[in-house]
Amino acid sequence: MKNTQSGLERRQSEKRAAILAAAKTLFFKEGYGRTTMDRVLSAVGGSKRTLYGHFENKEALFKAIIAQVSDRVLSALTPQIETKEIRETLIDMGIRYLQVMTSADGIALYRAMVAEAIHFPDLADSFIQNGPGRASKHLADYLREQSNQKNLHIADPDMAAAQFMGMLRGNAHLLAVLTAQIPSHDEIEQIVKTAVDGFLTGCIRDG
């Protein structure tokens, strides 16, 4: 019985992943408004019962896609345990963050939200809360911890986190969104190092 249940859970997980993959392709290509659950079902196959068993409606499906991409951003903003110095930590976080933001999925999600936000404000709120909002809060918690330990001098960690992430995105993200001009790893590294050094100039405690 235990093995059978494990197999069932594995198949359900695989089916959910397949639904998300098919839906992501449709949402990013056609937009939220033009994508229907029937089209997702046609792309992924199976029954309506299975599809709606995983996602009760189109909004829930799109929110799951937002969460999926957002989780990659949060993973990028998770400090590495082996990294000891704040500068090294921020550089590592920054490189992985900008890589996600200029990735195919990151760009496609951003474009989709810009196109649909005015028509679907609830989705826009969900995107902000589960994407940029979560990422900024995660970084703010790290900066707050460093400030509490007297390693940094930051009066408002939440604002500092938002400003730092804005410095990272800069023109690189804008160019990627508008022209599909993706920065190379070396370009990303240079952008991040410059942003980190500028950010820390006003945050490092003397002595």
Q: Are both 84 and 180 inside the same structural domain? A: yes
How many whole angstroms separate alpha carbon 159 and alpha carbon 153? 13
Q: Are both 106 and 181 inside the same structural domain? A: yes
Q: Of the residues 10, 38, 56, which one is the last residue of a structural domain?
A: 56
Instruction: Check residue 207 and give its pLDDT.
Output: 44
pLDDT tens-digit readout, 21-48: 999 999 988 888 889 999 999 999 989 9
Buried b (16+ CB within 10 A) or exposed e, 158-173: eebbbebbebbbeebb
In a domain, 136, yes or no: yes
Q: How many domains does the chain have?
A: 2
Q: Are both 105 and 165 inside the same structural domain? A: yes
Q: Are both 105 and 164 inside the same structural domain? A: yes
Give kind and range of the element (H or E) at residue 172. helix 157-179
How many whole angstroms separate alpha carbon 23 and alpha carbon 64? 10
Q: Are both 109 and 154 inside the same structural domain? A: yes
In a domain, 206, yes or no: no
Q: Decide: helix, strand or coil at residue 204.
A: strand
pTM: 0.79
In a domain, 194, yes or no: yes
Instruction: Check residue 3 and give its pLDDT.
Output: 52
Q: Are both 41 and 9 inside the same structural domain? A: yes
Q: Are both 50 and 136 inside the same structural domain? A: no
DSSP code at position 182:
P
Domain interval for residue 12? 1-56
In a domain, 16, yes or no: yes
Instruction: Check residue 29 and give its pLDDT.
Output: 87
In a domain, 207, yes or no: no
How many whole angstroms separate alpha carbon 178 and alpha carbon 4? 49
Low-confidence residues of the chain: pLDDT under 70: 1-5, 79-84, 205-207
Q: Are both 64 and 45 inside the same structural domain? A: no
Q: Are both 125 and 38 inside the same structural domain? A: no
